[in-house]
Amino acid sequence: MTAPPTNTCGASRPWMRAWLTAAGIYNLLWGAVTVLFPAWLFLLTGLEEPRYPFLWQCVGMIVGVFGVGYLAAATDPLRHWPIVLVGLLGKIFGPIGYLDGVLRGDVPVAFGVTLPTNDILWWIPFTMILLAARREACGSASAAASSTSSPQASSAGRAAAWLVPLLLACSLSTSLAADPLPRTPLWKGTPPTGSITGDASAADENAFYTVHLPDRPTGAAVVICPGGGYGGLVVDGEGHGIAKWLNLHGIAGIVLEYRLPRGRTEVPVLDAGRAIRTVRQHATEWQIDPERIGIIGFSAGGHLAATAATLFDGGNPLADDLVEQLSSRPNFAILIYPVIDMGESAHAGSRKNLFGENPSEEITHRFSPHHWVSEQSPPAFLAHAVDDTVVPISHSELLYDAYREQGLPALLLRLPDGGHGLNGYKGSSWDAWQSGAITWLRERGMIPTP
C-alpha cells in the first residue's frame, strides 16, 4: 500500500505558525476589549467618547473573527492562505476606515494614527506568507494529482468556510461606517475668532452641524450644544441622542459641533449664534418656523446655550453674507445641569479651557450669563440634580433668580438625584427633565398639544 503524501509545507515555515498564532491571540484580545468596552476604551485614555459605540462593537466582533481565522490558519499556513489573504485585505482597509473616521470626527486623532500604524506591522508577514505559498511545492503536479483526497478537500472547505463570514463581516462594517447624516461646515471661508484672550496657537478650524429632521415636523427646531468642559464634545449622549429624542416629538434637532476655545474665548458663542442664524436661513427648506427656534445645552454646552440666550444680536442688515443679516436670538433656551457662573464658583475645567490661565475679572463677568439677563432674553427651562457635585445646582439657581428679577418666564426643575450627567443619560431624573421640557414647550406654544 502506498503511503499518502505528507504535507510538509507548513512545517518548512515554522515562523508562519508562530506569527499567525500571535496575530490570532492579539486580534482576539483586541476584539474582546472593543466589544465589551467600546466607550471605556476612550474614557480611560482621556479621549472623547466615540460617536457610534455600536459601530465599534461591530468592529470588535470582526477583529475577533479575524483572530479565530488566524489561529485556524496557524495549523497549516500555506494550505490556509485564503484566510491570510482576507486578513491582509482587512489590514489594508482598516487604516482607511480609521483615517476616514478621524476626518469625520468619529475617531480621536490618537487612535486614527496609532491603529493604522499597528496594522502596518502585520502587512509584511502576511505578504511573505502569500509569496511563500506561491513558491511552495503544495501546488505541484503531485499535489494536484491527490487533490481529490479528503484531507485536501477538507482543508479547502475550511478555508472557504472562514472566507465567507469574514467577507460578510467586512461588508457589514462598510455599511455601518457610512454617516447617516452629513456634517456641514458652519462657516464659509475663514471662521472669525473674536478677541484673543489666551494662547491662540490652534488653527482656525471650522465648526460643523448635523441636521436631524423629524418625520412629522411641528415647525419647532432646537440647536443642540453638547457638553465636554470646553475641552471636548460629547456628541453622542448630549448631541445626536438628543436630536433623535426631539425628532420623536416633531422637533428638528441641529447638533452643533462648535469649535473648542483654545485661547479664543469668543469662538463657541460665535458658532452658536451662527448656528441659530443658519437654521433661520433654512427655515422654509427644513419646514421650520423661524420664530420657534430654540437652543439646548448640557454642562459647558449649557453655559454656551445660556450665553447665546443673553449675548445675541438682531443681525447686520448691511452684511454681504445673508446668514449674518438674520437674528441670533433663540426663541427659547433649555439648559441641563449648565455651568453658569464663571467667577469664583466656576467649574474649574470649563473656566480654564474657555479663558486660559488667570483670566481677568472683566472677561469672566462678561461670560457669566446671569449678569446679562434682560427683558429681551428668551424663556428658559432649567433642570439640575440637587446632588450634582461637579457643577452644583447653585449655577442654575443664579440664572433662574436673574430671570425672576426681570419678571421673565423661567422654570427650574430640581431633580432629586443623578449627579452630573444624570446617571449617564438614563434613569428617573433623566426621564423627568425630558418629559418636563416637552410639557413646558407645549405650554409655551412652541409645539402643539397632541
Query: Above 60 in pLDDT, residue 444?
Result: yes
Q: Alpha helix (H) ranges present in 136-216? A: 141-145, 150-177
The alpha carbon of residue 130 and the mean position of all alpha carbons in its chain are separated, in whole angstroms, by 38
Q: Please state the separation of Cα 318 from the chain's center in Å.
A: 37
Helix (H, G, I), strand (E, B) or coil at 419: coil
In the prediction, which pLDDT does 21 show? 80
Better-scored residue on pLDDT, 99 or 331: 331
**Of 330, 268, 275, residue with least CA distance to 300:** 268
Q: What CATH topology corresponds to 184-443? A: Rossmann fold (3.40.50)
What percent of the chain is predicted at pLDDT more than 90? 48
Least confident of 81-85, 94-98, 374-378: 94-98
Burial group, residue 182, by CB count within 10 angstroms (0-12, 13-18, 19+): exposed
Rounded CA-CA distance 326/280 in Å is: 7
Count of CB atoms situated within 10 Å of the CB of 363: 18
Residues 54-92 as b/e (b if ≥16 CB within 10 A, e otherwise) read: ebbbbbbbbbbbbbbbbbbbbebbbbbbbbbbbbbebbe
The pLDDT, as a whole number, for residue 407 is 96
Given this model, what pLDDT does residue 142 score? Answer: 47
136 closest CA partner among 13, 260, 312: 13
In this structure, what DSSP letter does residue 304 have?
A: H
C-alpha 447/C-alpha 434 separation (Å) is 14
More confident residue, 391 or 15: 391
CA nearest to 60, candidates 41, 78, 83: 41
Instruction: State the DSSP H helix or E strand holding residue 16, giving kind and residue range, or none if neither.
Output: helix 14-36
- pLDDT per residue as tens digits for the range 261-289: 987 899 999 999 999 999 999 999 999 99
- Whether 133 has a pLDDT exceeding 80, the answer reads no
Cell representation of residue 73: 490558519
Residue 220 and residue 251 in contact, taking contact as beta carbons nearer than 8 Å: yes
CA of 51: how far to CAs of 199, 278, 303, 365, 376, in Å? Answer: 28, 24, 22, 34, 36
Burial label for 432, CB within 10 Å (0-12, 13-18, 19+), is: middle
pLDDT-derived band of residue 19, with 50, 70 and 90 as boundaries? confident
Return the top range by mean pLDDT from 84-98, 184-198, 242-256, 336-350: 242-256
Ramachandran quadrant class, 250 (left: phi over 0; alpha: psi -120 to 50; beta: rest):
left
pLDDT bin (cut points 50, 70, 90) of residue 204 is low
**What is the predicted pLDDT for the residue at 29?**
80
The confidence band for 129, taking pLDDT boundaries of 50, 70 and 90, is low
The predicted-structure confidence for 419-440, as pLDDT tens digits, reads as follows 999 988 989 999 999 999 999 9
> pLDDT tens across 339-370, in order?
999 988 888 888 888 988 888 899 999 999 99
Q: Taking residues 308-335, what's their average pLDDT? A: 96
pLDDT of residue 214: 96
Where residue 71 falls among pLDDT bands split at 50, 70, 90?
Answer: confident
pLDDT surpassing 80 at residue 5: no
Beta-ladder partners of 384: 414
60, three cell numbers: 470588535
The number of residues in the chain equals 450
Report the pLDDT averaged over residues 194-213.
74
Burial of 163 by CB count in 10 Å (0-12 exposed, 13-18 middle, 19+ buried)? middle
pLDDT band at 101 (very low <50, low <70, confident <90, very high): low
* pLDDT band at residue 8 under the 50/70/90 scheme: very low
Contact of 314 with 329, CB cutoff 8 Å: yes
385 has which bridge partners? Answer: 415
Tell me what the mean pLDDT of segment 143-162 comes to. Answer: 45
Left, alpha or beta for 379 (phi > 0: left; psi -120 to 50: alpha)?
A: beta
- For range 133-153, the mean pLDDT: 48
For 381-395, the pLDDT digits (tens) are 999 999 999 999 999
For cell 491603529, what's the residue? Answer: 115
Query: pLDDT-derived band of residue 80, with 50, 70 and 90 as boundaries?
Result: low
In angstroms, the CA 97 to CA 123 distance is: 16
Residue 151, phi then psi, degrees to nearest 5: -60, -45
Q: Which residues contact 162 (CB under 8 A, 6 or more apart)?
A: 69, 72, 73, 80, 82, 83, 86
Nearest to 90 by CA among 137, 147, 33, 27: 27
- Kind of pairing between the strands at 293-298 and 221-225: parallel
Asked whether the predicted pLDDT for residue 190 surpasses 70, the reply is: yes
Q: Where in the chain is the domain with CATH 3.40.50.1820?
A: 184-443
pLDDT for 112 beyond 70? no
The pLDDT assigned to 157 comes to 45
Distance set, CA 252 to CA 43, 222, 309, 333 (Å): 30, 6, 19, 15
What is the structure's pLDDT at 155? 45
Cα–Cα distance, 443 to 427 (Å, whole number): 25
